[in-house]
Chains A and B, each alone.
Chain A
């Protein structure tokens, strides 16, 4: 009965969206705010990537909120997975020599690529969140190839807390220099250079560090969530 009802609802929704789809036509020109962001973004921030200048400068305060939301969800996951009782899974098959050696070989280049993405966030596609995700994917590869490995949680949470704290401090730089939180009123440099766009690369590097360490800690928690407490303490 229930699947039939769901199918009817889906069919209704499909016909409705088929009727609406022709209305989704590409615009000929941008709206007022978007036009300002697109045409003045380079003048205001000197960062080639206009999406970055929207995310980190014009909507920088929202991005601070976004970082907080990510932090809260990771904290929530840690809270939910904290108790390990009842989670007895069969022991994982150890990875082969080839996979383990390959993971060690690839770890450094992938980490470097992640750092490249968040350092060049104001010049090329990418940024702190994307670079952080690449860093975390390197960690995930390492954790899957070496199931008995544990990450240094103390160090990770220190990096994470310090970079989050530094983000807020950078916001206060704008408050004292230009009278508005996260304002980008420092020497901006030359358009297209690595050291340009004022505070944007600083903030994006901090976000990259924070997201990378946060997601790495999360992945560590998830891959080791099925182990009994005693074994975990012993293997550290």
Chain B
């Protein structure tokens, strides 16, 4: 089995574990953890999709990656796709913000209701 398949399988497993946490757990903090796992899995999957066979990380640290010494043009197929990595960098930062806001809301909810059980928070049900 190729290691890329392993990576995407692990990413999908993480997404499923996160989703299971969100759907099955009733403790709000565990649900927030589930959302974080879900996001991490999605990020790993996106980075894995940018893999190019036989290529190295998109950091040009040696002249061997260049087409020829004078040109500064990077060789075709020498580096992986930098776009998914840039995208995931953005997604991680936004994920931090979202997780923080989620936890702050949970803190507020606990202060007001003295419970973390999502089944006990029925005021929005009708």
| A interface residues (Cβ-Cβ under 8 A, vs B) | 3, 6-7, 9-10, 13-14, 17-18, 21-22, 24-31, 33-35, 37-43, 46, 48-51, 53-55, 59, 62-63, 66, 69-70, 72-74, 76-77, 80-81, 85-87, 124-125, 127, 129, 133, 191-192, 211, 215, 218, 222, 225
State whether the Cβ of B24 lies closer than 8 Å to any Cβ in chain A: yes
A25-B4, A62-B90 known, 11 other contacts, Cβ within 8 Å? A24-B48, A24-B49, A29-B77, A37-B82, A39-B74, A51-B89, A54-B83, A55-B86, A55-B89, A127-B89, A222-B103
Complex: how many Å from CA A55 to CA B112?
Answer: 41
What's the minimum C-beta distance from A212 to chain B, rounded to whole angstroms?
13
Chain A residues whose C-beta falls within 8 Å of the C-beta of B50 in the assembled complex: 34
State whether the Cβ of B121 lies closer than 8 Å to any Cβ in chain A: no
The answer to whether B57 and A63 have CB atoms under 8 Å apart is no
The answer to whether B86 and A10 have CB atoms under 8 Å apart is no
The answer to whether B104 and A81 have CB atoms under 8 Å apart is yes
Complex: how many Å from CA A191 to CA B4?
Answer: 32
The answer to whether B101 and A77 have CB atoms under 8 Å apart is yes
Chain A residues whose C-beta falls within 8 Å of the C-beta of B53 in the assembled complex: 26-28
Complex: how many Å from CA A53 to CA B60?
Answer: 12
What's the minimum C-beta distance from A19 to chain B, rounded to whole angstroms?
11
Chain A residues whose C-beta falls within 8 Å of the C-beta of B49 in the assembled complex: 24
Complex: how many Å from CA A192 to CA B65?
Answer: 13
Contacting residues of chain B (58-74) with chain A, CB-CB under 8 angstroms: 58-61, 66, 71-74
Complex: how many Å from CA A17 to CA B66?
Answer: 38
The answer to whether A87 and B105 have CB atoms under 8 Å apart is no
State whether the Cβ of B124 lies closer than 8 Å to any Cβ in chain A: no
What's the minimum C-beta distance from B39 to chain A, rounded to whole angstroms?
14
A-B contacts at CB below 8 angstroms, number: 166
What's the minimum C-beta distance from B9 to chain A, rounded to whole angstroms?
6
The answer to whether B12 and A21 have CB atoms under 8 Å apart is yes
State whether the Cβ of B116 lies closer than 8 Å to any Cβ in chain A: no
The answer to whether B83 and A33 have CB atoms under 8 Å apart is yes
Q: Of the candidates B5, B8, B59, which one forms a contact with A48 in the assembled complex, judged by CB atoms under 8 Å apart?
A: B59
Complex: how many Å from CA A81 to CA B103?
Answer: 10
What's the minimum C-beta distance from B88 to chain A, rounded to whole angstroms?
9
Q: Of the candidates B23, B82, B90, which one forms a contact with A9 in the assembled complex, judged by CB atoms under 8 Å apart?
A: B23
What's the minimum C-beta distance from A124 to chain B, rounded to whole angstroms?
7
The answer to whether A50 and B108 have CB atoms under 8 Å apart is no
State whether the Cβ of B42 lies closer than 8 Å to any Cβ in chain A: no
Q: Of the candidates B9, B12, B66, B100, which one forms a contact with A73 in the assembled complex, judged by CB atoms under 8 Å apart?
A: B100
The answer to whether B93 and A66 have CB atoms under 8 Å apart is yes
- A86's closest neighbor in chain B, by CB? B111
Chain B residues whose C-beta falls within 8 Å of the C-beta of A7 in the assembled complex: 24
The answer to whether A35 and B72 have CB atoms under 8 Å apart is no
Q: Of the candidates A6, A31, A51, which one forms a contact with B85 in the assembled complex, judged by CB atoms under 8 Å apart?
A: A51
Complex: how many Å from CA A33 to CA B82?
Answer: 10
- B90's closest neighbor in chain A, by CB? A66
Complex: how many Å from CA A76 to CA B102?
Answer: 10
Chain A residues whose C-beta falls within 8 Å of the C-beta of B92 in the assembled complex: 129
Q: Of the candidates B12, B61, B90, which one forms a contact with A17 in the assembled complex, judged by CB atoms under 8 Å apart?
A: B12
